[in-house]
A and B are shown apart, each in its own frame.
Chain A
Protein backbone atom coordinates (compact mmCIF):
# COMPACT_ATOMS: atom_id res chain seq x y z
CA UNK A 1 0.00 0.00 0.00
CA UNK A 2 1.75 3.16 -1.09
CA UNK A 3 0.66 6.76 -1.35
CA UNK A 4 0.33 6.84 -5.12
CA UNK A 5 -1.95 3.83 -5.16
CA UNK A 6 -3.99 5.36 -2.36
CA UNK A 7 -4.39 8.56 -4.38
CA UNK A 8 -5.40 6.63 -7.49
CA UNK A 9 -8.38 5.40 -5.50
CA UNK A 10 -9.34 8.91 -4.60
CA UNK A 11 -9.17 10.15 -8.18
CA UNK A 12 -12.87 11.10 -8.25
CA UNK A 13 -12.68 13.21 -5.10
CA UNK A 14 -9.45 14.85 -6.22
CA UNK A 15 -10.96 15.72 -9.62
CA UNK A 16 -14.00 17.28 -7.94
CA UNK A 17 -11.77 19.27 -5.56
CA UNK A 18 -9.64 20.49 -8.46
CA UNK A 19 -12.78 21.58 -10.38
CA UNK A 20 -14.06 23.31 -7.23
CA UNK A 21 -10.73 25.07 -6.81
CA UNK A 22 -10.84 26.24 -10.42
CA UNK A 23 -14.39 27.48 -9.88
CA UNK A 24 -13.44 29.33 -6.69
CA UNK A 25 -10.41 30.84 -8.43
CA UNK A 26 -12.46 32.06 -11.38
CA UNK A 27 -15.18 33.41 -9.06
CA UNK A 28 -12.68 35.33 -6.93
CA UNK A 29 -10.84 36.70 -9.94
CA UNK A 30 -14.12 37.85 -11.52
CA UNK A 31 -15.07 39.68 -8.31
CA UNK A 32 -11.86 41.62 -8.67
CA UNK A 33 -10.21 40.09 -5.61
CA UNK A 34 -6.50 40.67 -5.44
CA UNK A 35 -4.59 38.03 -7.49
CA UNK A 36 -2.20 37.39 -4.62
CA UNK A 37 -5.14 36.78 -2.28
CA UNK A 38 -6.67 34.35 -4.80
CA UNK A 39 -3.33 32.59 -5.05
CA UNK A 40 -3.03 32.41 -1.29
CA UNK A 41 -6.56 31.04 -0.90
CA UNK A 42 -5.92 28.36 -3.53
CA UNK A 43 -2.65 27.41 -1.90
CA UNK A 44 -4.29 27.08 1.51
CA UNK A 45 -7.09 24.94 0.12
CA UNK A 46 -4.67 22.65 -1.75
CA UNK A 47 -2.44 22.39 1.29
CA UNK A 48 -5.33 21.51 3.60
CA UNK A 49 -6.69 18.91 1.15
CA UNK A 50 -3.28 17.28 0.78
CA UNK A 51 -2.81 17.26 4.51
CA UNK A 52 -6.19 15.58 5.04
CA UNK A 53 -5.45 12.96 2.40
CA UNK A 54 -2.08 12.25 3.82
CA UNK A 55 -3.42 11.98 7.35
CA UNK A 56 -5.95 9.38 6.20
CA UNK A 57 -3.29 7.49 4.29
CA UNK A 58 -0.95 7.53 7.21
CA UNK A 59 -3.56 6.14 9.62
CA UNK A 60 -4.60 3.33 7.34
CA UNK A 61 -1.23 2.47 5.81
CA UNK A 62 0.35 1.20 8.98
CA UNK A 63 -2.52 -1.18 9.64
CA UNK A 64 -2.58 -2.57 6.12
CA UNK A 65 1.19 -2.85 5.84
CA UNK A 66 1.23 -4.83 9.06
CA UNK A 67 -1.60 -7.01 7.80
CA UNK A 68 0.22 -7.85 4.58
CA UNK A 69 3.49 -8.54 6.38
CA UNK A 70 1.81 -10.87 8.88
CA UNK A 71 0.01 -12.73 6.09
CA UNK A 72 3.25 -13.32 4.22
CA UNK A 73 5.27 -14.38 7.21
CA UNK A 74 2.68 -16.58 8.90
CA UNK A 75 2.97 -20.28 8.33
CA UNK A 76 -0.53 -21.19 9.52
CA UNK A 77 -2.36 -18.36 7.82
CA UNK A 78 -5.64 -19.21 9.45
CA UNK A 79 -4.26 -17.81 12.69
CA UNK A 80 -3.95 -14.33 11.19
CA UNK A 81 -6.50 -12.60 13.41
CA UNK A 82 -4.56 -13.62 16.51
CA UNK A 83 -1.46 -11.81 15.31
CA UNK A 84 -2.76 -8.42 14.27
CA UNK A 85 -4.41 -5.78 16.41
CA UNK A 86 -7.73 -4.08 15.82
CA UNK A 87 -7.29 -0.80 13.91
CA UNK A 88 -8.91 2.47 14.90
CA UNK A 89 -10.71 3.34 11.68
CA UNK A 90 -14.10 1.99 10.77
CA UNK A 91 -13.36 0.08 7.56
CA UNK A 92 -10.39 -1.54 9.19
CA UNK A 93 -12.56 -2.59 12.09
CA UNK A 94 -15.02 -4.22 9.72
CA UNK A 95 -12.19 -6.11 8.05
CA UNK A 96 -10.69 -7.16 11.37
CA UNK A 97 -13.97 -8.40 12.85
CA UNK A 98 -14.81 -10.35 9.71
CA UNK A 99 -11.36 -11.90 9.67
CA UNK A 100 -11.72 -12.95 13.29
CA UNK A 101 -15.03 -14.70 12.68
CA UNK A 102 -13.71 -16.44 9.57
CA UNK A 103 -10.51 -17.62 11.26
CA UNK A 104 -12.35 -18.97 14.28
CA UNK A 105 -14.70 -20.98 12.10
CA UNK A 106 -11.65 -22.44 10.34
CA UNK A 107 -9.91 -23.34 13.61
CA UNK A 108 -13.03 -25.02 14.95
CA UNK A 109 -13.27 -27.08 11.78
CA UNK A 110 -9.60 -28.09 12.08
CA UNK A 111 -10.10 -29.14 15.69
CA UNK A 112 -12.94 -31.39 14.66
CA UNK A 113 -10.72 -33.16 12.15
CA UNK A 114 -7.76 -33.40 14.50
CA UNK A 115 -9.95 -35.02 17.13
CA UNK A 116 -11.46 -37.42 14.62
CA UNK A 117 -8.00 -38.42 13.41
CA UNK A 118 -6.77 -39.00 16.95
CA UNK A 119 -9.79 -41.16 17.76
CA UNK A 120 -9.26 -43.16 14.60
CA UNK A 121 -5.61 -43.64 15.41
CA UNK A 122 -6.51 -44.90 18.87
CA UNK A 123 -8.97 -47.31 17.33
CA UNK A 124 -6.27 -48.72 15.06
CA UNK A 125 -3.97 -49.22 18.05
CA UNK A 126 -6.69 -51.09 19.91
CA UNK A 127 -7.59 -53.12 16.85
CA UNK A 128 -3.98 -54.17 16.26
CA UNK A 129 -3.64 -55.09 19.90
CA UNK A 130 -6.79 -57.22 19.79
CA UNK A 131 -6.09 -58.96 16.53
CA UNK A 132 -2.73 -60.19 17.73
CA UNK A 133 -4.52 -62.65 19.98
CA UNK A 134 -6.26 -64.73 17.27
CA UNK A 135 -3.14 -64.48 15.13
CA UNK A 136 -1.04 -65.85 18.00
CA UNK A 137 -3.59 -68.59 18.67
CA UNK A 138 -3.61 -69.61 15.03
CA UNK A 139 0.16 -69.75 14.78
CA UNK A 140 0.37 -71.79 17.97
CA UNK A 141 -2.26 -74.27 16.81
CA UNK A 142 -0.45 -74.68 13.49
CA UNK A 143 2.88 -75.15 15.24
CA UNK A 144 1.47 -77.97 17.30
CA UNK A 145 -0.18 -79.74 14.38
CA UNK A 146 2.31 -79.51 11.56
CA UNK A 147 1.65 -80.99 8.16
CA UNK A 148 1.70 -79.79 4.53
CA UNK A 149 -1.58 -77.95 4.87
CA UNK A 150 -0.61 -76.18 8.05
CA UNK A 151 2.69 -75.06 6.57
CA UNK A 152 0.83 -73.38 3.75
CA UNK A 153 -1.60 -71.82 6.21
CA UNK A 154 1.29 -70.61 8.33
CA UNK A 155 2.64 -68.69 5.37
CA UNK A 156 -0.70 -66.98 4.84
CA UNK A 157 -1.01 -66.03 8.48
CA UNK A 158 2.52 -64.64 8.40
CA UNK A 159 1.38 -62.44 5.54
CA UNK A 160 -1.60 -61.28 7.57
CA UNK A 161 0.70 -60.50 10.46
CA UNK A 162 2.94 -58.40 8.21
CA UNK A 163 0.00 -56.30 7.05
CA UNK A 164 -1.20 -55.83 10.60
CA UNK A 165 2.26 -54.64 11.55
CA UNK A 166 2.34 -52.24 8.64
CA UNK A 167 -1.02 -50.81 9.69
CA UNK A 168 0.29 -50.21 13.18
CA UNK A 169 3.44 -48.49 12.01
CA UNK A 170 1.46 -46.39 9.57
CA UNK A 171 -0.85 -45.19 12.30
CA UNK A 172 2.10 -44.38 14.55
CA UNK A 173 4.14 -42.72 11.83
CA UNK A 174 2.64 -39.31 12.54
CA UNK A 175 3.55 -39.39 16.19
CA UNK A 176 6.86 -41.24 16.13
CA UNK A 177 8.13 -38.82 18.77
CA UNK A 178 5.81 -40.37 21.34
CA UNK A 179 7.21 -43.85 21.04
CA UNK A 180 10.86 -44.08 20.25
CA UNK A 181 14.14 -44.46 22.10
CA UNK A 182 17.35 -43.73 20.25
CA UNK A 183 19.97 -46.18 21.36
CA UNK A 184 23.28 -47.48 20.19
CA UNK A 185 22.58 -50.49 17.97
CA UNK A 186 24.84 -52.94 16.23
CA UNK A 187 24.19 -52.66 12.51
CA UNK A 188 25.23 -56.22 11.75
CA UNK A 189 22.85 -57.59 14.39
CA UNK A 190 19.99 -55.49 13.05
CA UNK A 191 20.53 -56.79 9.52
CA UNK A 192 20.95 -60.40 10.66
CA UNK A 193 17.77 -60.29 12.70
CA UNK A 194 15.75 -58.91 9.81
CA UNK A 195 17.08 -61.58 7.50
CA UNK A 196 16.30 -64.29 10.03
CA UNK A 197 12.80 -62.93 10.50
CA UNK A 198 12.18 -63.32 6.78
CA UNK A 199 14.19 -66.51 6.40
CA UNK A 200 11.27 -68.73 5.43
CA UNK A 201 10.12 -66.45 2.61
CA UNK A 202 13.66 -65.83 1.38
CA UNK A 203 14.51 -69.53 1.34
CA UNK A 204 11.22 -70.45 -0.28
CA UNK A 205 11.85 -67.93 -3.07
CA UNK A 206 15.39 -69.23 -3.50
CA UNK A 207 16.95 -65.85 -2.77
CA UNK A 208 20.50 -66.08 -1.55
CA UNK A 209 21.70 -63.65 1.06
CA UNK A 210 25.11 -62.10 1.52
CA UNK A 211 25.86 -59.99 4.58
CA UNK A 212 29.08 -58.00 4.55
CA UNK A 213 28.32 -55.59 7.38
CA UNK A 214 30.76 -55.13 10.24
CA UNK A 215 29.91 -54.65 13.88
CA UNK A 216 29.45 -50.91 13.43
CA UNK A 217 27.37 -49.03 15.95
CA UNK A 218 24.67 -46.65 14.84
CA UNK A 219 22.22 -44.53 16.77
CA UNK A 220 18.60 -45.29 16.04
CA UNK A 221 15.40 -46.83 17.38
CA UNK A 222 15.63 -50.59 16.95
CA UNK A 223 11.91 -51.13 16.35
CA UNK A 224 11.59 -48.56 13.59
CA UNK A 225 14.78 -49.45 11.73
CA UNK A 226 13.72 -53.11 11.94
CA UNK A 227 10.45 -52.21 10.26
CA UNK A 228 12.16 -50.18 7.54
CA UNK A 229 14.64 -52.89 6.60
CA UNK A 230 11.83 -55.44 6.70
CA UNK A 231 9.86 -53.46 4.13
CA UNK A 232 12.88 -53.31 1.86
CA UNK A 233 13.50 -57.05 2.15
CA UNK A 234 9.83 -57.70 1.42
CA UNK A 235 10.06 -55.55 -1.70
CA UNK A 236 13.12 -57.47 -2.86
CA UNK A 237 11.21 -60.71 -2.45
CA UNK A 238 8.18 -59.35 -4.26
CA UNK A 239 10.14 -57.99 -7.20
CA UNK A 240 12.73 -60.70 -7.57
CA UNK A 241 14.05 -62.26 -10.76
CA UNK A 242 15.79 -65.53 -11.59
CA UNK A 243 18.78 -66.45 -9.42
CA UNK A 244 18.02 -63.64 -7.04
CA UNK A 245 20.26 -62.42 -4.31
CA UNK A 246 20.17 -59.67 -1.69
CA UNK A 247 23.49 -58.17 -0.62
CA UNK A 248 23.97 -56.12 2.53
CA UNK A 249 27.07 -54.00 2.89
CA UNK A 250 28.10 -50.81 4.60
CA UNK A 251 30.34 -47.91 3.71
CA UNK A 252 31.82 -45.39 6.10
CA UNK A 253 31.73 -41.78 4.96
CA UNK A 254 33.15 -38.69 6.62
CA UNK A 255 30.18 -37.95 8.83
CA UNK A 256 27.98 -40.94 8.31
CA UNK A 257 27.64 -44.64 7.66
CA UNK A 258 25.63 -45.90 4.71
CA UNK A 259 23.91 -49.25 4.72
CA UNK A 260 23.31 -50.62 1.23
CA UNK A 261 20.70 -53.25 0.45
CA UNK A 262 21.22 -54.38 -3.09
CA UNK A 263 19.20 -56.93 -5.00
CA UNK A 264 19.27 -58.11 -8.60
CA UNK A 265 15.54 -58.19 -9.03
CA UNK A 266 13.48 -56.61 -11.75
CA UNK A 267 14.46 -53.12 -10.66
CA UNK A 268 12.47 -49.91 -11.02
CA UNK A 269 11.72 -48.35 -14.41
CA UNK A 270 13.37 -44.97 -15.04
CA UNK A 271 10.11 -43.11 -15.22
CA UNK A 272 8.98 -44.43 -11.84
CA UNK A 273 12.10 -44.13 -9.73
CA UNK A 274 11.64 -40.52 -8.68
CA UNK A 275 8.15 -41.31 -7.46
CA UNK A 276 8.56 -44.52 -5.48
CA UNK A 277 8.44 -42.74 -2.13
CA UNK A 278 5.09 -41.13 -2.87
CA UNK A 279 2.16 -42.33 -0.84
CA UNK A 280 0.04 -44.83 -2.72
CA UNK A 281 2.41 -44.96 -5.69
CA UNK A 282 2.38 -48.42 -7.21
CA UNK A 283 4.09 -47.78 -10.51
CA UNK A 284 4.42 -50.17 -13.39
CA UNK A 285 5.82 -53.02 -11.32
CA UNK A 286 3.28 -52.64 -8.58
CA UNK A 287 0.51 -53.14 -11.07
CA UNK A 288 2.13 -55.88 -13.11
CA UNK A 289 3.57 -58.08 -10.41
CA UNK A 290 1.31 -57.98 -7.44
CA UNK A 291 -1.22 -55.81 -5.75
CA UNK A 292 0.84 -53.25 -3.94
CA UNK A 293 -0.52 -50.83 -1.37
CA UNK A 294 2.10 -48.26 -2.33
CA UNK A 295 2.53 -47.51 1.37
CA UNK A 296 5.74 -49.44 2.18
CA UNK A 297 8.36 -47.10 0.76
CA UNK A 298 6.34 -44.02 1.67
CA UNK A 299 6.42 -45.13 5.30
CA UNK A 300 10.13 -45.93 5.09
CA UNK A 301 10.94 -42.45 3.89
CA UNK A 302 8.70 -40.82 6.46
CA UNK A 303 10.16 -42.83 9.31
CA UNK A 304 13.71 -42.21 8.13
CA UNK A 305 12.94 -38.52 8.22
CA UNK A 306 11.70 -38.74 11.79
CA UNK A 307 14.75 -40.74 12.87
CA UNK A 308 17.17 -38.35 11.26
CA UNK A 309 18.22 -40.85 8.59
CA UNK A 310 18.37 -40.45 4.84
CA UNK A 311 17.06 -43.01 2.41
CA UNK A 312 17.94 -43.20 -1.28
CA UNK A 313 17.00 -45.62 -4.00
CA UNK A 314 18.82 -46.53 -7.20
CA UNK A 315 18.01 -48.97 -9.92
CA UNK A 316 20.76 -50.55 -11.99
CA UNK A 317 20.59 -54.32 -12.60
CA UNK A 318 18.12 -54.52 -9.78
CA UNK A 319 17.37 -52.18 -6.94
CA UNK A 320 19.73 -50.70 -4.39
CA UNK A 321 18.48 -48.93 -1.30
CA UNK A 322 20.84 -46.78 0.72
CA UNK A 323 20.13 -45.77 4.30
CA UNK A 324 22.43 -43.11 5.69
CA UNK A 325 23.09 -43.01 9.43
CA UNK A 326 24.72 -39.79 10.57
CA UNK A 327 27.62 -40.29 12.94
CA UNK A 328 27.65 -38.78 16.36
CA UNK A 329 24.94 -38.53 18.97
CA UNK A 330 23.30 -35.37 17.67
CA UNK A 331 21.79 -35.92 14.28
CA UNK A 332 21.20 -33.17 11.76
CA UNK A 333 17.51 -33.32 11.12
Chain B
Protein backbone atom coordinates (compact mmCIF):
# COMPACT_ATOMS: atom_id res chain seq x y z
CA UNK B 1 0.00 0.00 0.00
CA UNK B 2 1.52 3.29 -1.07
CA UNK B 3 0.76 6.54 0.69
CA UNK B 4 1.61 10.01 -0.59
CA UNK B 5 2.66 12.59 2.02
CA UNK B 6 2.14 16.16 0.85
CA UNK B 7 3.90 18.20 3.54
CA UNK B 8 6.25 21.12 3.21
CA UNK B 9 8.02 20.93 6.57
CA UNK B 10 11.10 18.74 5.99
CA UNK B 11 11.32 17.27 9.47
CA UNK B 12 7.68 16.36 9.61
CA UNK B 13 7.77 14.87 6.14
CA UNK B 14 10.82 12.73 6.93
CA UNK B 15 9.65 11.55 10.32
CA UNK B 16 6.15 10.79 9.11
CA UNK B 17 7.61 8.78 6.22
CA UNK B 18 9.81 6.83 8.60
CA UNK B 19 6.83 6.16 10.84
CA UNK B 20 4.60 4.87 8.06
CA UNK B 21 7.39 2.75 6.58
CA UNK B 22 7.87 1.18 10.01
CA UNK B 23 4.25 0.16 9.88
CA UNK B 24 4.64 -1.48 6.53
CA UNK B 25 3.50 1.16 4.08
CA UNK B 26 5.32 2.43 1.01
CA UNK B 27 5.72 6.17 0.99
CA UNK B 28 5.90 8.84 -1.71
CA UNK B 29 6.89 12.17 -0.18
CA UNK B 30 7.67 14.82 -2.80
CA UNK B 31 9.78 17.83 -1.87
CA UNK B 32 8.92 19.75 -4.98
CA UNK B 33 5.33 20.72 -5.61
CA UNK B 34 5.69 22.04 -9.13
CA UNK B 35 3.97 19.14 -10.82
CA UNK B 36 2.27 17.78 -7.79
CA UNK B 37 -0.91 16.46 -9.35
CA UNK B 38 0.82 14.60 -12.17
CA UNK B 39 3.58 13.30 -9.88
CA UNK B 40 1.11 11.87 -7.42
CA UNK B 41 -0.97 10.25 -10.12
CA UNK B 42 2.15 8.84 -11.74
CA UNK B 43 3.12 7.14 -8.48
CA UNK B 44 -0.24 5.38 -8.30
CA UNK B 45 -0.66 5.91 -4.59
CA UNK B 46 -3.55 4.41 -2.70
CA UNK B 47 -3.98 7.22 -0.20
CA UNK B 48 -2.94 10.86 0.12
CA UNK B 49 -2.07 12.66 3.36
CA UNK B 50 -2.46 16.30 2.46
CA UNK B 51 -1.36 19.21 4.61
CA UNK B 52 -3.80 21.96 3.81
CA UNK B 53 -1.61 24.76 5.13
CA UNK B 54 1.11 24.67 2.51
CA UNK B 55 2.68 28.12 2.28
CA UNK B 56 3.34 28.53 -1.42
CA UNK B 57 0.93 26.04 -2.82
CA UNK B 58 -2.76 26.01 -2.07
CA UNK B 59 -3.70 22.69 -0.53
CA UNK B 60 -7.36 23.19 -1.37
CA UNK B 61 -6.50 23.81 -5.00
CA UNK B 62 -4.52 20.59 -5.14
CA UNK B 63 -7.40 18.70 -3.55
CA UNK B 64 -9.83 20.02 -6.14
CA UNK B 65 -7.50 19.23 -9.01
CA UNK B 66 -6.86 15.68 -7.87
CA UNK B 67 -10.56 15.09 -7.38
CA UNK B 68 -11.23 16.11 -10.98
CA UNK B 69 -9.20 13.16 -12.17
CA UNK B 70 -9.10 10.55 -9.43
CA UNK B 71 -11.07 9.16 -6.53
CA UNK B 72 -8.02 8.24 -4.50
CA UNK B 73 -8.82 8.68 -0.78
CA UNK B 74 -7.48 11.90 0.74
CA UNK B 75 -6.93 12.61 4.42
CA UNK B 76 -6.55 16.32 5.08
CA UNK B 77 -4.16 17.40 7.80
CA UNK B 78 -4.15 20.83 9.38
CA UNK B 79 -3.13 22.74 12.46
CA UNK B 80 -6.24 24.89 12.29
CA UNK B 81 -8.86 23.05 14.24
CA UNK B 82 -11.72 25.18 13.06
CA UNK B 83 -15.03 23.88 11.84
CA UNK B 84 -14.80 26.03 8.72
CA UNK B 85 -11.73 24.11 7.58
CA UNK B 86 -13.44 20.80 8.28
CA UNK B 87 -16.52 21.76 6.27
CA UNK B 88 -14.41 23.06 3.40
CA UNK B 89 -12.44 19.81 3.34
CA UNK B 90 -15.58 17.72 3.21
CA UNK B 91 -16.99 19.82 0.40
CA UNK B 92 -13.82 19.32 -1.59
CA UNK B 93 -14.23 15.58 -1.42
CA UNK B 94 -11.71 14.73 1.25
CA UNK B 95 -12.36 11.49 3.06
CA UNK B 96 -11.17 12.46 6.49
CA UNK B 97 -9.77 15.32 8.50
CA UNK B 98 -7.00 15.17 11.09
CA UNK B 99 -5.47 17.94 13.18
CA UNK B 100 -1.88 18.51 14.09
CA UNK B 101 -0.11 17.59 16.26
CA UNK B 102 -0.79 14.09 15.04
CA UNK B 103 -2.12 11.55 17.40
CA UNK B 104 -0.20 8.84 15.59
CA UNK B 105 -2.25 5.91 16.78
CA UNK B 106 -5.41 7.61 15.62
CA UNK B 107 -3.78 8.49 12.30
CA UNK B 108 -2.80 4.88 11.72
CA UNK B 109 -6.23 3.66 12.66
CA UNK B 110 -7.89 6.09 10.26
CA UNK B 111 -5.53 5.21 7.42
CA UNK B 112 -6.13 1.51 7.80
CA UNK B 113 -9.88 1.96 8.16
CA UNK B 114 -10.09 4.03 4.97
CA UNK B 115 -7.89 1.59 3.06
CA UNK B 116 -9.97 -1.30 4.30
CA UNK B 117 -13.17 0.44 3.26
CA UNK B 118 -12.02 1.59 -0.16
CA UNK B 119 -9.90 -1.34 -1.27
CA UNK B 120 -11.72 -4.06 0.67
CA UNK B 121 -8.50 -5.18 2.24
CA UNK B 122 -8.00 -7.02 5.44
CA UNK B 123 -5.12 -5.84 7.62
CA UNK B 124 -2.70 -8.65 8.54
CA UNK B 125 -4.51 -10.69 11.10
CA UNK B 126 -1.78 -13.10 12.14
CA UNK B 127 1.44 -12.67 14.00
CA UNK B 128 3.99 -15.48 14.35
CA UNK B 129 7.12 -16.10 16.39
CA UNK B 130 9.05 -19.24 17.14
CA UNK B 131 6.28 -21.51 16.04
CA UNK B 132 3.67 -19.62 18.01
CA UNK B 133 0.89 -18.10 15.93
CA UNK B 134 -1.62 -15.55 17.19
CA UNK B 135 -4.65 -15.26 14.94
CA UNK B 136 -6.11 -11.88 15.80
CA UNK B 137 -9.28 -12.18 13.77
CA UNK B 138 -10.21 -15.50 15.39
CA UNK B 139 -8.74 -14.71 18.83
CA UNK B 140 -6.85 -18.00 18.87
CA UNK B 141 -3.25 -18.71 19.76
CA UNK B 142 -1.70 -21.91 18.46
CA UNK B 143 1.51 -23.83 19.05
CA UNK B 144 2.45 -27.24 17.78
CA UNK B 145 -1.06 -28.17 16.68
CA UNK B 146 -2.54 -27.16 19.99
CA UNK B 147 -4.68 -24.10 20.15
CA UNK B 148 -6.73 -22.16 22.67
CA UNK B 149 -9.18 -19.29 22.51
CA UNK B 150 -8.32 -15.96 24.10
CA UNK B 151 -10.43 -13.09 25.38
CA UNK B 152 -10.30 -9.70 23.68
CA UNK B 153 -7.91 -8.34 26.31
CA UNK B 154 -5.66 -11.38 26.21
CA UNK B 155 -5.39 -11.05 22.44
CA UNK B 156 -4.38 -7.41 22.76
CA UNK B 157 -1.80 -8.17 25.44
CA UNK B 158 -0.22 -11.03 23.52
CA UNK B 159 -0.30 -8.96 20.35
CA UNK B 160 1.65 -6.06 21.78
CA UNK B 161 4.18 -8.39 23.41
CA UNK B 162 4.67 -10.31 20.17
CA UNK B 163 5.06 -7.08 18.20
CA UNK B 164 7.97 -6.22 20.50
CA UNK B 165 9.93 -9.48 20.59
CA UNK B 166 13.03 -9.15 22.73
CA UNK B 167 11.95 -5.78 24.11
CA UNK B 168 10.55 -5.18 27.56
CA UNK B 169 7.07 -3.71 27.30
CA UNK B 170 6.20 -1.66 30.40
CA UNK B 171 2.90 -2.37 32.18
CA UNK B 172 1.79 1.18 31.52
CA UNK B 173 2.15 0.66 27.80
CA UNK B 174 0.10 -2.54 27.87
CA UNK B 175 -2.56 -0.79 29.92
CA UNK B 176 -2.61 2.10 27.45
CA UNK B 177 -3.12 -0.31 24.58
CA UNK B 178 -6.12 -1.82 26.36
CA UNK B 179 -7.54 1.60 27.21
CA UNK B 180 -7.36 2.62 23.54
CA UNK B 181 -9.72 -0.28 22.82
CA UNK B 182 -12.18 1.02 25.40
CA UNK B 183 -11.09 -1.43 28.13
CA UNK B 184 -10.23 0.84 31.05
CA UNK B 185 -8.44 -1.72 33.18
CA UNK B 186 -6.59 -0.90 36.36
CA UNK B 187 -3.35 -2.32 37.75
CA UNK B 188 -4.91 -5.34 39.44
CA UNK B 189 -7.08 -6.24 36.49
CA UNK B 190 -4.01 -6.20 34.26
CA UNK B 191 -2.17 -8.60 36.56
CA UNK B 192 -5.18 -10.90 36.62
CA UNK B 193 -5.40 -10.81 32.82
CA UNK B 194 -1.73 -11.62 32.39
CA UNK B 195 -1.93 -14.51 34.82
CA UNK B 196 -4.94 -15.94 33.03
CA UNK B 197 -3.12 -15.55 29.72
CA UNK B 198 -0.13 -17.40 31.12
CA UNK B 199 -2.27 -20.24 32.34
CA UNK B 200 -3.86 -20.56 28.92
CA UNK B 201 -0.44 -20.58 27.24
CA UNK B 202 0.74 -23.25 29.67
CA UNK B 203 -2.24 -25.35 28.71
CA UNK B 204 -0.91 -25.49 25.15
CA UNK B 205 2.55 -26.29 26.47
CA UNK B 206 3.93 -22.78 26.21
CA UNK B 207 5.57 -22.49 29.62
CA UNK B 208 7.39 -19.31 30.47
CA UNK B 209 6.51 -17.71 27.17
CA UNK B 210 5.92 -14.37 28.84
CA UNK B 211 8.74 -13.28 31.11
CA UNK B 212 8.25 -10.82 33.95
CA UNK B 213 10.89 -8.18 34.46
CA UNK B 214 10.33 -6.81 37.95
CA UNK B 215 9.70 -3.11 38.03
CA UNK B 216 9.98 -2.83 34.26
CA UNK B 217 7.36 -4.86 32.47
CA UNK B 218 6.95 -8.00 30.44
CA UNK B 219 8.75 -9.49 27.53
CA UNK B 220 8.71 -12.40 25.11
**Is the CB of B18 closer than 8 A to any CB of chain A?**
yes
Interface residues of A in 65-105 (CB under 8 A from B): none
Q: How far is the CB of A182 from chain B (nearest CB, A)?
A: 11
Residue of B nearest to A136 (CB): B101
Q: How far is the CB of A282 from chain B (nearest CB, A)?
A: 28
**Is the CB of B148 closer than 8 A to any CB of chain A?**
no
Interface residues of B in 165-190 (CB under 8 A from A): 172, 175-176, 179-180, 182, 184, 186-187
Question: Are B11 and A140 in contact (CB-based, < 8 A)?
Answer: yes
Residue among A135, A196, A210 making CB contact with B179, cutoff 8 Å: A196
How many A-B pairs have beta carbons closer than 8 Å: the answer is: 80
Residues of A within 8 A of B18 (CB): 144
**Is the CB of B83 closer than 8 A to any CB of chain A?**
yes
Q: B interface, by DSSP: helix, strand, loop or mixed?
A: helix
Residue among A128, A133, A137, A192 making CB contact with B15, cutoff 8 Å: A137
Q: Give CA–CA (A66, B107) in the complex, Å.
A: 65
Residue among A141, A143, A192, A203 making CB contact with B172, cutoff 8 Å: A203
Residues of A within 8 A of B11 (CB): 137, 140-141
Question: Are B83 and A199 in contact (CB-based, < 8 A)?
Answer: no
Residues of A within 8 A of B179 (CB): 195-196, 199, 202-203, 209
Q: Give CA–CA (A199, B174) in the complex, Å.
A: 11
Q: Give CA–CA (A195, B184) in the complex, Å.
A: 9
Residue of B nearest to A168 (CB): B81
Residues of B within 8 A of A181 (CB): 83
Residues of B within 8 A of A141 (CB): 11, 15
Question: Are B186 and A143 in contact (CB-based, < 8 A)?
Answer: no
**Is the CB of A114 closer than 8 A to any CB of chain B?**
no
Question: Are A129 and B9 in contact (CB-based, < 8 A)?
Answer: no
A136-B101, A144-B22, A223-B81 as given contacts; A209 in contact with B184, CB under 8 Å: yes
Q: Give CA–CA (A195, B186) in the complex, Å.
A: 13
**Is the CB of B102 closer than 8 A to any CB of chain A?**
yes
Question: Are B9 and A208 in contact (CB-based, < 8 A)?
Answer: no
- 1/0 per residue A163-185: CB within 8 Å of B? 00000100000000001110000
Q: Give CA–CA (A206, B83) in the complex, Å.
A: 35
Instruction: Among A129, A168, A197, A211, find the residue whose CB has the most chain B CB atoms closer than 10 A.
Output: A129
Q: Give CA–CA (A132, B182) in the complex, Å.
A: 28
Q: A interface, by DSSP: helix, strand, loop or mixed?
A: helix
Q: Give CA–CA (A140, B9) in the complex, Å.
A: 12
**Is the CB of B152 closer than 8 A to any CB of chain A?**
no
Q: Give CA–CA (A258, B41) in the complex, Å.
A: 51
Q: How far is the CB of B25 from chain A (nearest CB, A)?
A: 14
Interface residues of B in 69-120 (CB under 8 A from A): 79-84, 100-104
Question: Are B15 and A129 in contact (CB-based, < 8 A)?
Answer: no
**Is the CB of B211 closer than 8 A to any CB of chain A?**
no
**Is the CB of A204 closer than 8 A to any CB of chain B?**
yes
Q: Give CA–CA (A140, B180) in the complex, Å.
A: 19
Residues of A within 8 A of B180 (CB): 196, 199
Residues of A within 8 A of B82 (CB): 179
Instruction: Among A143, A168, A181, find the residue whose CB has the most chain B CB atoms closer than 10 A.
Output: A143
Question: Are A204 and B172 in contact (CB-based, < 8 A)?
Answer: yes
Residues of B within 8 A of A130 (CB): 79
Residues of B within 8 A of A203 (CB): 172, 175-176, 179
**Is the CB of B136 closer than 8 A to any CB of chain A?**
no
Residue among A139, A168, A223 making CB contact with B101, cutoff 8 Å: A139
Residue of B nearest to A199 (CB): B179
Q: Give CA–CA (A202, B15) in the complex, Å.
A: 28
Q: Give CA–CA (A211, B183) in the complex, Å.
A: 10
Q: Give CA–CA (A155, B18) in the complex, Å.
A: 21
Question: Are A133 and B104 in contact (CB-based, < 8 A)?
Answer: no
Q: How far is the CB of B75 from chain A (nearest CB, A)?
A: 15
A-B residue pairs, 5 tightest by C-beta: A140-B15, A132-B79, A208-B186, A136-B101, A199-B179
A→B interface (CB under 8 Å): 128-130, 132-133, 135-137, 139-141, 143-144, 161, 168, 179-181, 192, 195-197, 199-200, 202-204, 206, 208-211, 223
Give 25 A-B contacts (CB < 8 Å), ordered by A residue: A129-B80, A132-B100, A133-B9, A133-B79, A135-B101, A136-B12, A136-B101, A136-B102, A139-B101, A139-B102, A140-B16, A140-B19, A140-B102, A144-B19, A168-B81, A179-B82, A179-B84, A199-B175, A199-B179, A200-B176, A203-B175, A204-B172, A208-B186, A208-B187, A211-B184
If A129-B79, A195-B184 are given as contacts, then 5 extra A-B residue pairs at C-beta distance below 8 Å, sorted by A number, are A128-B79, A136-B102, A195-B179, A203-B176, A223-B83
